[in-house]
Amino acid sequence: MHKEIHQWWSPRLHRDMEIAVYGHYGQALLLLPTAAADYLEYERFHLIDSIKEQIDGGKFKVFSINSINSESWLNNKMHPTDKSIRHAQFNEYVYQEVLPFIRNHCGNDVPIITAGASFGALHSANLFFKRPDLISGVIAMSGVYRLGAYTDGYWDENCYFNSPEDYLANMNDEYWLSILRNRHKTFILSGQGDYEAPDASRRFGKILASKGIPHEVDLWGYDMPHDWETWRAMLPYVLQTKF
């Protein structure tokens, strides 16, 4: 499998940010890490190996980036307002730096799908639903889609506009809704085993349905826990059968 590592100084985050690239060509799959993990997490836990067939076959070219969750919601030493600001800065890093890098690497017309597990599911969904003009779909695994699950009671405008369950429930802007209604690559998956929260996926699916946004909510069995074995099964299944 072809692999490259790139790095640049991010003017939006004021730090070096790495990105791993797997494959030569295909649709772009942008992976958002779980929790406070890094850009090599999905490789370390063999999720990249689980989709090797799609990568080597040229169906997908995969881009895996760092999180900065340890500099925002998972950093107990930061004031919540600063966490909120840092989260917004991360979004702009993705929109203004990562997406142009992907298009330059693949070609300007390449579809970009975001994907992630656990906290990465919330990030991948949020990035897509905020800017469906830039991103073509999302594969969110084992997520909770209300940011309040991570903010320990803190709430401000940044929190609201990075909490898909909240802002989508109240979205009435026909411009953005019309774009979302023409996107047909929205997959919300969850196991029902240990530490999973399938009700979060059900609840989010009902919000999407109420807005007429095409999507699939796929709840796997009670033997599927909130862990890598589940995600190593889910992601190749979606890439093989839905694209």
User: What is the number of structural domains in the chain?
Assistant: 1
Please, is 152 exposed, middle or buried when counting C-beta atoms within 10 Å of its C-beta (0-12, 13-18, 19+)? exposed
175 is written with which tokens?
């411009």
Interatomic CA distance for residues 203 and 200, integer angstroms: 5
Q: What CATH number is given to the structural domain containing 143?
A: 3.40.50.1820
Q: How many CA within 13 A on the CB side of residue 186?
A: 26
Q: Would you give per-residue pLDDT tens digits along the chain (243 residues)? A: 999 999 999 999 999 999 999 999 999 999 999 988 899 999 999 999 999 999 999 999 999 999 999 999 999 899 999 999 999 999 999 999 999 999 999 987 899 999 999 999 999 999 999 999 999 999 999 999 999 989 989 999 999 999 999 999 999 999 999 999 998 899 999 999 999 999 999 999 999 999 999 999 999 999 999 999 999 999 999 999 999
Range of the domain at 170: 3-241
